[in-house]
Amino acid sequence: MFDFGRDRGLHVEDALAVAHAGPVDPPAQPWHLTPARTLLAVSPYFVLERVDLPAGTAWALDADQETWLLVIAGEARVGRHVAGIGQAMFIDEATAALQVGPEGISALLAYVSPVPVARLLERRGAPDGGGGPDLFVAPLPSGGPVPAAPRRALQEVRV
């Protein structure tokens, strides 16, 4: 309603006329896509997820399009670079190897897509000797299909 530091008219009455002073709707609950991935927000333009990866594990992050990783706890080696708390990495059209540090890692992942990408994150060297994709264990609220991302060859991570 206010425009501090600017020399222009304030339309307080108009702002108050359209303001909703009542209670707000509760925020949407995060949606657990897998044990490691939680959907926080999705729009026609991007997806925002939180990933929580256990200590000492190895993963492949398949960033078919522009992808941002922001570490909020712990650390991991991403390609040749180490990312710690508060550090961000930009990965584009690459498959980046993630080696999780001794305390695990929690990070925010933002990427260009109208829906969550099923094969975005794959565990490597699982304790059962397997590995393979970290696939969805819960359907999306819309019930719509989730496309798999095309596979790309390993490329350098850009930071």
In a domain, 143, yes or no: no
In a domain, 51, yes or no: yes
For the full predicted model, state whether its pTM sits above 0.85. Answer: no
Can you give the CATH number for the domain in which 88 is found?
2.60.120.10
In a domain, 144, yes or no: no
Q: pLDDT (tens digit, 9 = 90+) per residue, 95-134?
A: 999 999 999 999 999 999 999 999 999 999 755 434 444 4
Range of the domain at 59: 28-124
In a domain, 14, yes or no: no
- Per-residue H/E/C for the chain: CCCCCCCCCCCHHHHHHHCCCCCCCCCCCCEECCCCEEEEEECCCEEEEEEEECCCCEEEEEECCCEEEEEEEEEEEECCEEECCCCEEEECCEEEEEEEEEEEEEEEEEEECCCCCCCCEEEECCCCCCCCECCCCCCCCCCCCCCCCCCCCCCCCCC
